[in-house]
Amino acid sequence: MQLENLTSFIGTEVKGLDLREPVSDADFAVLRDTLNQRSVLLFRGQHINESQHVAFSRRFGPLLGHVLTQFLKKEHPEVYVLSNVSENGKPIGNHKEGWNWHSDLSYKAEPSMGALLYALEVPPVEGDTFFASMHAAYEALDDDTKARIRHMTATHSYANYYGKAFADRNPLTPEQLAATPDVVHPLVRTHPETGRLSLYVGEDVVKQIDGLPADESAALLAELNAHAISPEFSYRHKWLAGDLLVWDNRCTMHRATPYDDQVYRRVMHRTTVAGDRPF
């Protein structure tokens, strides 16, 4: 197994592993430590099926489903499908998902620890995914800003996100709304394995910074979001079929980018690893 950093601050490509085969405990310990330090792992040229995807994902922890249950695989409900493809008149996956900067499931009391996204079919151009290091973003703040926000909290809202991101869709059902009430999280969170601090912000899903007047909350949130996604903290991934990306959701944000969905097919499978309550 060889490791090659993708940037100076985020992302490492892992070479020499075929994830159809079990990963040894020794190699997995290296992977886990590298993920804690580098936040994103890339495995290229993989040929895994759903069972192998789920099995490798479980090495990182228990797996979660998704509130949009219509896009979970029946045989392996741990697998959430992202796609523009329709079969028998119905979409097989969620489309136009994650086109804003976000941290997965931040609208939950216990957001996910991470995710593993596997590319089955990708367009030959566009459709890239950006990742930003929230560790690097926090550490680059001036001391006054760090002190100001260190103990602030923010309200994360799936209903707020859904209403902005999917205004053209049917509204959430009462059951879906009940499953995703607003939650409050720290604006600066601590990595539970390394103790390193990071920003915990996001577009659309973060409804407000608590305890501030609405205009001041909106201004500070916009300022922090703009800072967090600066190119100096970001990595742009250009997908190839067979890529598997693993990211640490506790210290990154990411966003998908558009592509010509009338010309090209895109099929991605994602598993989500359960996490802890941010602190």
Residue 163: CB atoms within 10 Å:
14
Residue written as tokens 């100076």?
A: 8
Q: Is 53 a catalytic residue?
A: no
Helices (H), 43-197: 50-58, 134-139, 143-149, 158-165, 174-179
Q: Is 191 a catalytic residue?
A: no
Name the catalytic one among 156, 189, 250, 270.
270
Name the catalytic one among 38, 53, 66, 104.
104
The residues pairing with 72 across neighbouring beta strands, listed in sequence order, are: 80
Name the catalytic one among 102, 185, 189, 255.
102
Cα separation, 33 vs 236, in Å, equals 22
Task: Give the pair of three-digit tokens for residue 3.
Answer: 């490791």
Q: Is 102 a catalytic residue?
A: yes
Name the catalytic one among 254, 255, 266, 269.
254
Length of the chain, in residues: 279
Q: Is 95 a catalytic residue?
A: no
Distance of CA 157 to the CA centre of its chain: 16
- Closest of 33, 41, 28 to residue 243, by C-alpha: 41
Beta strands in 55-174 (DSSP E): 63-64, 80-83, 86-87, 90-91, 114-121, 129-133, 153-156
Cα separation, 197 vs 150, in Å, equals 10
Residues recognised as catalytic: 102, 104, 254, 270
